[in-house]
Structure 1
């Protein structure tokens, strides 16, 4: 367990260390339900008022492992030409805590079989690292890198493009366009900064019969200084009510997913990740739960469930 704690604390050091960059933003197995977090052009694309909450407990059993929660809402406006969205989020990793909020706006162009959207996002984060709480053992109090805490308010921007039809979507986006400084202000720490994150996501619904649909999808994530990572997913939907799927995250996890369209308004989802790296010896997996509610009333009728 001490080795795992060391890994967590090293991850913090990597995050704020000089020229050492890694995936800084939270990751989600059910990314297809949290698209607003990575692409602002998604706002309003479901054509209803949609509210989604998601909680992720990563590497269960490891002290200081990541825990992430989000709450988002988006809706179309002005005859569905404009999409607006907002999100609150909290992400904790070891002694690092990031709380924030984002606002997204998308301009939507209706096409023959779908919609093309261009989006912008602005966000504000409270970034904290309680380095003085880290136990250094026999070196306690001797390492200047852990002598003071970091507490910063960070503003940033993102942009994206998103196309979707009833059975297909494709989106590309960039997050954290401003290279905010993550180090402290007294010059005693090696410099670190936020890096631009790139996301490419796509999915398609393949009808197999009247009762079965197969929904393959993928998400490719890239950030400077870290290997490109891909999430490859396939979900089998039965009567548009139950979805059972599997996912592979390159060099990281294999996952199982289940989705339930409880009512036309309510969808819930759960995923379980099993590590395929040496971390599998120290944790019992990662758990993620999602709840979505949609105010899908139009002319007294509930809109049919949407795949994306």
Structure 2
């Protein structure tokens, strides 16, 4: 009985996910968004002043068959002239038979605002690939035309822009990663699934001292797309000696959770988050898990790497 229920839920979520993706309602959600800024804001490229590689993997709604799984790769670095930052961001998002993959390049032009702060104008451009393996779904009618064929769209080009301002203790950004509202049709252009819609993101945060070896870092992320309510994340981290970060977050009407991050070396950081679902889905899942690995490549032998908070 439980297995049948889970399979039905998987089918239901898969159908809903196709509708959601087809209408561009939601991009993937990340609890450690402050470590994954390049995914939505191209102005972030090069802001760490060294080559950075960040990997993030998210397992959502653990315990449910066909649950959402998301992996991201972000690589970015400033150029030698210090005014240009370049990056590459890859997002692979899957729920059941539905897979959505985006590969985007990032360019940021940076200007100095004050001695301690900069403003970057960013452009993101690349391709999006959408595939739905509907023919492999269990529990569907074999004679149902809607589920008799897999759906694969042609590569869809897109681009976006962003603004990102930061100092050693503050950051604020605005972005829309995809401006083109592509039609999601099959490669034969016979069946249209829907259209992508523009997403708008606002992110921000700061760090301030509460003790000689303790800091507090509040951050937020707002996400909006026409036809959907605003998604809002509010996060707070306590930093111990700039090495251990412990915190929590609240996503309005959706989830709450805990965060843990540890700076293993000056260059290597590991992060983990756990989401507890606040909706009725909590009856079917034990929560969501997210793991992050970030590495800063230091090529210069001289100097000391100062703590990076964003």
Pick the TM interval, shorter chain: over 0.9
Shift of 1:190: 5.4
Tell me what 1:171 maps to.
Answer: 173
SS at match of 1:257: strand
Change over 3 Å in CA distance of 1:100–1:22 after alignment to 2: closer
Change over 3 Å in CA distance of 1:46–1:296 after alignment to 2: same
CA offsets 1:11-51 (integer angstroms, 9 cap, x no match): 2341366xx5521x211110011100000010001111111
CA distance in 2 between counterparts of 1:13 and 1:87 reads: 23
Whether the 8 Å contact between 2:235 and 2:250 is mirrored in structure 1 is yes
User: How do residues 209-220 of structure 1 correspond to structure 2 at under 5 angstroms?
Assistant: 209-220=211-222
CA offsets 1:36-87 (integer angstroms, 9 cap, x no match): 0000010001111111111111111111111111121111114310000012
* Cα-Cα RMSD: 1.7
CA distance in 1 between counterparts of 2:62 and 2:147 reads: 26
Tell me what 2:15 maps to.
Answer: 10
CA distance in 1 between counterparts of 2:235 and 2:82 reads: 30
User: How do residues 217-236 of structure 1 correspond to structure 2 at under 5 angstroms?
Assistant: 217-236=219-238
Unaligned 5+ segments in structure 1 are none
CA offsets 1:137-181 (integer angstroms, 9 cap, x no match): 4xx133332232211211111110000000000000002211111
User: How do residues 1-308 of structure 1 correspond to structure 2 at under 5 angstroms?
Assistant: 1-15=6-20, 21-23=24-26, 25-112=27-114, 113-137=116-140, 140-152=141-153, 153-184=155-186, 189=191, 191-308=193-310
Shift of 1:191: 4.0
Tell me what 2:3 maps to.
Answer: none
CA distance in 2 between counterparts of 1:269 and 1:167 reads: 20
Whether the 8 Å contact between 1:297 and 1:303 is mirrored in structure 2 is no
SS at match of 2:184: coil
How many residues in Structure 1 have an aligned counterpart in Structure 2?
303
Whether the 8 Å contact between 1:222 and 1:228 is mirrored in structure 2 is yes
CA distance in 1 between counterparts of 2:182 and 2:17 reads: 16
CA distance in 2 between counterparts of 1:21 and 1:53 reads: 24
Whether the 8 Å contact between 1:145 and 1:189 is mirrored in structure 2 is no
SS at match of 2:183: coil
CA distance in 2 between counterparts of 1:299 and 1:5 reads: 52
Whether the 8 Å contact between 1:98 and 1:126 is mirrored in structure 2 is yes
CA distance in 1 between counterparts of 2:301 and 2:63 reads: 49
SS at match of 1:27: coil
Whether the 8 Å contact between 1:21 and 1:225 is mirrored in structure 2 is no
CA distance in 2 between counterparts of 1:128 and 1:13 reads: 10
TM superposition score normalised by structure 2: 0.93
